[in-house]
Structure 1
């Protein structure tokens, strides 16, 4: 029976995942072709293809050229990362959000940023330094590099008004993300921006994203003392 109510790729993905969880298709089983699933769900083949790609990236199925799609015998467990919009994070805490662009400029990538992206040579990118505030107090300072070749539209965004964080989350989906979380003592430089004390324990998040093999953005975010990262599975 065709289920004409399902159209979005996320609904298709969740339906196929449920078939795997309830053993309709077991480990090693070959799944129907995308065209067959499209007919079953009453959606475009491209919608099924997007759902299958997500299942493959999350380690549930294995896609082989000319070999079809199979349920993995040994599924890979991977975390799903939803990049937060800092404005919404602040507002959900009941605080008033503010944003300040500190500086922006086009620069050649530093060795550290080249290493993050895996680039063999420097590339001109947009560097954005900005401060997010909660109730007029520093909340998160971000130092971000954005690839202008992959995200040329960012050049026309007024970053004094719109944060790069929110614009990228809403406008540039990623297919791969590297994330590093750690704590370190605050420095004098941190104190100037975050109004903290030198030596305070600061939470640092480094995140780099790509679409395919093309770099999108590399971020180092430093939070004010007391920041807590909460995630739900």
Structure 2
């Protein structure tokens, strides 16, 4: 005779996060009460409460006293800094935002991307190259690889209209993030995209995200000369 399996708060957290990732509960949706989830998982209410507190601290859900728990519309997704939505960043400067999809292809991951994800062999991923504009001037060029096994829904997103940066922030909260920030001199390739001069100091951000051990996205973003990154923790 075997008893019922015991659930840890981490397993409850991961189950709730998975329901958010597979859009059982989407951005802005209200989650069941802790008591209801405890009954569903066959665990103590305190176990659900601890799982929810972790999800709230990581920016996936929002807890309101007497108002219940909701999936955040704009997940905080904290790592070393908050992942910004570039459109909001531009609009908060009082400028007009526009987005341009340059290229979208499905390719085997090259060695550099395999290294970012710590993969032992290539995987087919979606590569998205796009340009964000501020008052019609180039603002940030991004070269992004998205794992189709982890994020299959991205293939149904119209990336001519909706940019991958905003879609991923809103729909794929991560549990782990590697981040690298540095400056480098501009090249001829940068000049053709960012209207920068060869030798200009350009800000570069490389960011790779996972949900547990599953890769989500690996990004290299290059900003126009003079770009400043501002974030609040």
**Is TM more than 0.5 here?**
yes
Does 2:205 align with 1:205? yes
Deviation of residue 165 (structure 1)?
0.2
CA distance in structure 1 between the aligned counterparts of 2:168 and 2:48, rounded to whole angstroms: 24
Partner Cα distance (1:173, 1:52) in 2: 13
Bigger Rg, structure 1 or 2: 1
Structure 1 gap ranges (5+): 1-7, 13-33, 38-44, 58-77
Return the TM-score normalized by structure 1. 0.70
Matches within 5 A, 1:66-81: 81=81
Partner of 2:126: 126
- The equivalent of 1:30 in structure 2 is none
Q: CA deviation at 1:205?
A: 0.1
Between 1 and 2, higher relative CO (CA 8 Å, sep ≥ 6) is seen in 2
How many Å separate the matches in 1 of 2:51 and 2:116? 30
Match of 2:48 in 1: 46
Per the normalisation by structure 2, the TM-score is 0.70
Aligned pair in 2 of structure 1 residues 211, 79: CA closer, same or farther (>3 Å)?
closer
Cα distance, 1:81 vs. partner?
2.9
Between the two proteins, the alignment pairs up a number of residues equal to 176
1:109 maps to 109
1:168 matched residue in structure 2 = 168
Q: Out of 17, 35, 59, which is 2:44 matched to?
A: 35
User: C-alpha offsets along residues 175-196 of structure 1, whole Å, 9 cap, x if unaligned?
Assistant: 0000000000000000000000
Structure 2 vs 1, CA of residues 94 and 52 (structure 1 numbering), >3 Å: closer, same or farther? Answer: closer
Is the partner of 1:181 in helix, strand or coil?
strand
